[in-house]
Amino acid sequence: MEKVLTDDEIDDDKVNKLLDQWEKDYPKEKPMVIRARKECLDGKYREYISKHDCIESKLYDCVFVNVLVDCQSWREDAECAEVKEHAQKCKDAQDME
């Protein structure tokens, strides 16, 4: 992930620029980008549990889980379905914290 900090804090503008680029690079994945914005910006990433106590890891974990949950390009096979199901369980567990 590119540098997204300003003064040791997550800079939503920098994250939005990164997500804008993802949206351009992967137009079929727009729902995934929208989900990452909705679920991870405005400090929401802070709610994510991470084994690392740094805000970049929490943002990464938030984006990673939400990308797995809403990625439209998953192959339609059992292995990908299992990964997506596992990501949803992780997302649900995070929401319970």
Task: Report how far residue 4's alpha carbon sits from residue 18's, in angstroms, rounded to the nearest whole number.
Answer: 9
Q: Which whole number is the average pLDDT over 4-22?
A: 93
> Whose CA is closest to 48, among 96, 1, 94?
94
Burial of 84 (0-12, 13-18, 19+ CB in 10 A): middle
pLDDT of 21 over the 90 cut? yes
What pLDDT is attached to residue 29? 84
With 90 as the cut, is the pLDDT of residue 95 above it?
no
| CA 60 to chain CA centroid, nearest Å | 6
Task: State how far the Cα of 91 lies from the Cα of 62, in Å rounded to an integer.
Answer: 9
